[in-house]
Amino acid sequence: MKLSPLVVLGMLATLGAIRPALAVDHDNIDADRPLDFDDAETIAFRERASEVGAGLAQRRGGKLGLASDVEYLYGFAKNWHLNLGVHPSLLGQEGQSRQFDVGDLAVGVQHNFNRETTSTPAFGFRADAYVPTGRGSRGTDFRLRGIMSRKFGRYGRLHLNADLNVNNSPNAGERRTLPGVLVGYSLPLGYPRRFDRTLVAQVGMRAATMSGDSAITNIGIGVRQQVAQRSVFDLGIKSDIAGGGNDRERFRVIAGYSTSF
């Protein structure tokens, strides 16, 4: 099934206009804001939030291009939230000119099993389906993500994400299943004197799309700044530093904004 990019963006804009009751938090980490990992916490019941990001990216052998993301979250039940998103881009593969791609429509849920205690980490999971709205995309793909978060050091937290991506319509030579793992770290800066800024960092490894390519290693660092009671600004940079394949990115610099309204 193919959906018009205008329909996809219209759906997200309409959902973003619904008024929520609660606030986003600089210390509650969501994927793409600004790095790739999630923490085990969900947004609050009946909370609604919109998240947008834009920046520069360069694929291996390609020209410098634009990358962005738009996402809507809704806490539809206690310890559950829904997320809808697209990742429009203007990028080029090696030897190709830049092409605009609205990206696949992502529809997912995240669940938190438990709160962290002194002896037990917080656990959660996330499941996403990717409807083929992007350029050249076909078949609905899926991703399952297991999440564990726990305190590390005096004020920091570690976040372990284990992924299984399923490509339902692989081309010749492409993998059908692509595992990956991410280790994220978050640290409130200036705490306990202040609590409005969080440092985030990650290191991870994922399987390349093509079966003959080696696994891709990536790193990233960023910061999330509370700019209002209901709003957070984020800035980050990440890079695939090792591995093969055209899906490897030399770097991506992203600035984003999250708000509940």
Range of the domain at 243: 5-259
Question: Which 8-state DSSP code applies to residue 195?
Answer: -
Q: Give the Cα separation of 128 and 106 in Å (integer).
A: 6
| The predicted structure's pLDDT at residue 201 | 99
Which pairs count as long-range contacts for 7-10, CB under 8 Å and 24+ apart, including other chains?
A: 8/86, 8/102, 8/105, 8/133, 9/70, 9/86, 9/102
- Inter-CA distances, 144 with 124, 137, 180, Å: 11, 20, 10
The one-digit pLDDT tens for each residue of the chain (261 residues) are 455 544 444 544 444 433 333 457 889 999 999 999 999 999 999 999 999 999 999 988 778 899 999 999 999 999 999 999 999 999 876 556 788 999 999 999 999 999 999 999 999 999 999 999 988 888 999 999 999 999 999 999 999 999 999 999 898 999 999 999 999 999 999 999 999 999 999 999 999 999 989 999 999 999 999 999 999 999 999 999 999 777 789 999 999 999 987
Residue of 181, 231, 189, 187 whose CA lies nearest to 206? 181
Query: In the chain, how many domains are there?
Result: 1
Question: What pTM did the predictor assign?
Answer: 0.88
Residue 53's domain is classified under what CATH number? Answer: 2.40.160.40
Q: How do beta strands 122-131 and 141-152 pair?
A: antiparallel
Sign of the torsion angle spanned by Cα atoms 120, 121, 124, 125: negative
Give me the residues paired with residue 185 across strands: 158, 201
The SS3 assignment for 23 reads coil
Task: Look at residues 258, 232, 237 and name the one whose alpha carbon lies nearest to residue 70.
Answer: 258
